[in-house]
Amino acid sequence: MLPPTDQAREALGARLRELRRDAELSGRDLAERAGWRPPKISKLELGRQNATEADIRTWCRVCGAEDQIPELIATVRTIDAQYVEWKRQMRGGQRRVQNAIRNEDLNTRLFRIFEPFHIPGFLQTRDYARVIMARSAAFYELVHDDLEAAVGARLGRQAILRMGDRRFHIVMAQQALDTWVGGPEVMRGQLAHIRAEMEALPLRLHIGVIPRHADIELGPHAGYWIFDSRIVMTETVTAALNVTQPREIALYERHFAGLDRLAVYGERAHELIDRALREIEEI
C-alpha cells in the first residue's frame, strides 16, 4: 500500500485530470497554455510531483474551472500536513504537540482508539504519562525541555472525557496492560485508574481488551485514533501520519470493527486488568 501522502497526491492528480478532460484539452494543449513543459502535466496527474498553489491556480484558470481553486488549494495544504516528522514537529516542545491535538479533540464526538502496547493518553495517569514523554524526549534528543508542561497538557486533554455528549470506544491489546512503564508502583496506579474510569463513565467510555491468545487476522499494526470519520492519526518511528482520504479512513474503520469483535468488555475486561494487577503483586 502506498503511503497516505502518495495516495493523496494520486487522488489530487485524478481530479486535475478530470478538469483537463472536461475542458477538452490534451496534456500538450494545457502545458502550452500554462507555459509549462509537457512532462509536468503527466507528473501532476499521476501524483509524481507535488502541486503548488500556483500550479493549482494556473491549471484551473486554463481549464476554466476557477471555482475549484479554493477546494483544490485546501487539498494541497492538507497533503503537506499529512506527514509530519516528529523531530520537526516537536522542535518547540511536546506541549505544543498536545495542544494541537486538543483542537481535534474538541471537534470530535466519537473517538475510536486502538493501542497495542501502551495505555492511550486519555486514560494515562500523571506518573505513566511522565515516563512515556520523558522517554520520547530522550529518544528524539529534544533540546526544548518542557516535560512537566507537556504532561500537564496531555492530562488536560482528559477533561474532554466528561464534556458534552462525546463517546469513547477504546480497544487495547492485553499487552498494553502487561507492558510495564515506570515500574510496579506506576503500573499499579495506572491499572487502578483505568478501572476507576470504567466505573465512573459507563455510558460514554467503552473499553475493550483483546486477550493475548486472540487470533488477530490482519495483525495489530500500529495504534491509531479515529476522530469521527473525519481523520485518522497514527504514528511511525519517524513521523505522525494524518489520514484524511475517505477510502483510507474506511479501511481503518473496518480494521477497528474487526478488533472490536475480538475484544472482551465489562467484567471480562475487568478480569484481565485485575490479572495484570495480581501479577505486579506477585513479583
Question: Per-residue pLDDT for 96 more than 90?
Answer: no
Question: Per-residue pLDDT for 80 more than 80?
Answer: no
pLDDT at residue 39 in the model: 95
**Residue 167 shares a structural domain with residue 218:** yes
DSSP collapsed to 3 states, 30-56: HHHHHCCCHHHHHHHHCCCCCCCHHHH
What's this model's pTM, rounded to 2 decimal places?
A: 0.76
Q: What digits encode the pLDDT tens for the residues 21-65?
A: 999 999 999 999 999 999 999 999 999 988 999 999 999 999 999
- d(CA 89, CA 165) in angstroms, rounded, equals 31
pLDDT at residue 97 in the model: 86
pLDDT at residue 123 in the model: 98
**Residue 76 shares a structural domain with residue 119:** no
**Residue 73 shares a structural domain with residue 107:** no
Residue 95's SS3 state is: helix
Q: Which residue has the cell 516528529?
A: 86
- The CATH number covering residue 64 comes to 1.10.260.40
Q: Domain tally for the chain?
A: 2
**Residue 269 shares a structural domain with residue 205:** yes
pLDDT at residue 76 in the model: 84
Mean pLDDT of 185-191: 97
Print burial letters for 6-30: b (CB count within 10 Å at least 16), e (below 16): ebbbebbbeebbebbeebebebeeb
> Looking at 82, 109, 138, which one is the last position of a domain?
82
**Residue 57 shares a structural domain with residue 133:** no
Question: Per-residue pLDDT for 216 more than 90?
Answer: no
- Contact (Cβ atoms closer than 8 angstroms) between residue 182 and residue 124: no
Which residues does 11 contact at the CB level (< 8 Å), separation at least 6?
47, 245
Question: Per-residue pLDDT for 6 more than 90?
Answer: no
> Looking at 82, 103, 129, which one is the last position of a domain?
82
Name the band, by pLDDT with cuts 50, 70 and 90, for residue 81: low
Name the band, by pLDDT with cuts 50, 70 and 90, for residue 1: very low
Query: In Å, how far from its chain's centre is CA 249?
Result: 10
User: Which range of residues forms the domain containing residue 56?
Assistant: 4-82
Q: pLDDT averaged over the chain? A: 91
Calculate the alpha carbon distances from 136 to 131, 132, 141, 176 in Å: 9, 6, 8, 17
Cell of 211: 486477550
> Looking at 82, 107, 136, which one is the last position of a domain?
82
Q: Which residue has the cell 482528559?
A: 158
Q: What digits encode the pLDDT tens for the residues 219-276?
A: 767 999 999 998 899 988 887 888 877 778 899 999 999 999 999 999 999 999 999 9
- The CATH number covering residue 165 comes to 3.30.870.10
Of the candidate ranges 55-69, 138-152, 175-189, the one whose mean pLDDT is the lowest:
138-152
**Residue 231 shares a structural domain with residue 129:** yes
**Residue 68 shares a structural domain with residue 184:** no
Q: What digits encode the pLDDT tens for the residues 199-209?
A: 999 999 999 99
- d(CA 185, CA 95) in angstroms, rounded, equals 25
**Residue 34 shares a structural domain with residue 150:** no
**Residue 26 shares a structural domain with residue 147:** no
**Residue 172 shares a structural domain with residue 230:** yes
**Residue 148 shares a structural domain with residue 170:** yes
Mean pLDDT of 107-114: 97
**Residue 54 shares a structural domain with residue 183:** no
